[in-house]
Structure 1
Amino acid sequence: MDELEVGALLSDTAVTVFRLHGRFLEMSETLARPAGLTAAWWQVLGAVLREPLPAAGIARAMGMTRQGVQRVADLLVERGLAEYRPNPAHKRAKLLTPTAEGREAIAKINPGHRELAARLARELGVDGMHACLESLRRLNTAMEHITASWPRPETTAAAHRRPTP
């Protein structure tokens, strides 16, 4: 396979992942809305259902930025869906945990989530779902290895300015 074919494969893979991401976000918004949540709120609350985590830990687990998680976490706390607790490992990085109201909101999503899972299982088969998951995990792991050694762009304010036409 030549470089052009490999480049086209990467482009097609990226576009497919972006489209899939968009479909998941759309469905997540649809499932979360009746519970009074957004997809981002569901994502952050879901990350702390088992154990409280700091914003940086949630960001790592969910592939989000720490700043984005912090904004969502502050909104969840403001609305009574989560609360901050002291973090014995770090004085300033408080732990986020859901409140009873936050857990109730997540519970309202579960029936729709189960229905989506059942419909995907009918469409792909359980073995097909396992195969998709394994392929996505392999792709994610490969990207993690590659991006860990990839040169980082300049992070100064000048690097964030858009070029003028």
Structure 2
Amino acid sequence: MSRSEQELFSTAAITSFKLNGQFLAIAEELARPAGITAAWWQVLGAVLHEPLPVAGIARAMGITRQSVQRIADLLVEKGLAEYRPNPAHRRAKLVAITEAGHDAVRRIDPQHTKMAARLTAELGRERMAEIADALTTLSAALDAIE
């Protein structure tokens, strides 16, 4: 029995909603021992390699600019991030991770590594790579049609 385009779309969406909840629950569990939340980890992760403006973080993470601004302000207040001047835009400061922020993310790494290994063991490395590629392709396709 062939499923309609609408059924396929609905299945993908509902499964993505469930996955989002599952990943957020895992992220909260992983982040808690480091003294941060999943949302804080998400924003720190976005600026791990380079400072970005709040709007850039929001685009990369698929969340609202206002949510990122609130979290960035908290991270700065806690000393896990800092605001820096943005040479490309006078008013939109860059969010940069501090050494304390790097330390928090590093504290997550051992459990993050274990969870990744458990999931990869469950699915197999090749299947895990296929799934990651398919999710990336799905996200890009949604970006393309928006």
In structure 1, what is the equivalent of residue 80 of structure 2?
81
In structure 1, what is the equivalent of residue 64 of structure 2?
65
Q: CA deviation at 1:13?
A: 1.2
Counterparts of 1:1-165 in structure 2, within 5 Å, are 5-147=4-146
Q: CA deviation at 1:24?
A: 0.2
Give CA deviations for 1:107-130 in whole Å, capped at 9, x if unaligned.
Answer: 000001100110011011110111
Give CA deviations for 1:87-135 in whole Å, capped at 9, x if unaligned.
Answer: 1111111111111111110000000110011001101111011100111
TM-score normalized by the length of structure 1:
0.85
Paired residue type of 2:79: G
- In structure 1, the residue corresponding to 2:95 is in which secondary structure? strand
Moved over 3 A (4+): none
In the alignment, the residues of structure 2 paired with residue 49 and residue 12 of structure 1 have an alpha-carbon distance, to the nearest angstrom, of 33
Q: CA deviation at 1:42?
A: 0.1
- In structure 1, the residue corresponding to 2:52 is in which secondary structure? coil
In the alignment, the residues of structure 2 paired with residue 82 and residue 74 of structure 1 have an alpha-carbon distance, to the nearest angstrom, of 9
In the alignment, the residues of structure 2 paired with residue 32 and residue 73 of structure 1 have an alpha-carbon distance, to the nearest angstrom, of 16
In the alignment, the residues of structure 1 paired with residue 143 and residue 19 of structure 2 have an alpha-carbon distance, to the nearest angstrom, of 19
- In structure 2, the residue corresponding to 1:91 is in which secondary structure? coil
Which of 1 and 2 has higher RCO (CA within 8 Å, sep 6+)?
A: 2
In the alignment, the residues of structure 2 paired with residue 113 and residue 37 of structure 1 have an alpha-carbon distance, to the nearest angstrom, of 14
TM-score normalized by the length of structure 2:
0.95
In the alignment, the residues of structure 2 paired with residue 137 and residue 105 of structure 1 have an alpha-carbon distance, to the nearest angstrom, of 27
More moved, 5-14 vs 42-51? 5-14
Question: Could you tell me the percent identity over the aligned residues?
Answer: 59
Q: CA deviation at 1:5?
A: 2.2
In the alignment, the residues of structure 1 paired with residue 79 and residue 45 of structure 2 have an alpha-carbon distance, to the nearest angstrom, of 15
Which structure would you say has the larger Rg?
1
- In structure 2, the residue corresponding to 1:64 is in which secondary structure? coil
Paired residue type of 1:22: G
Unaligned runs of 5+ in 2: none
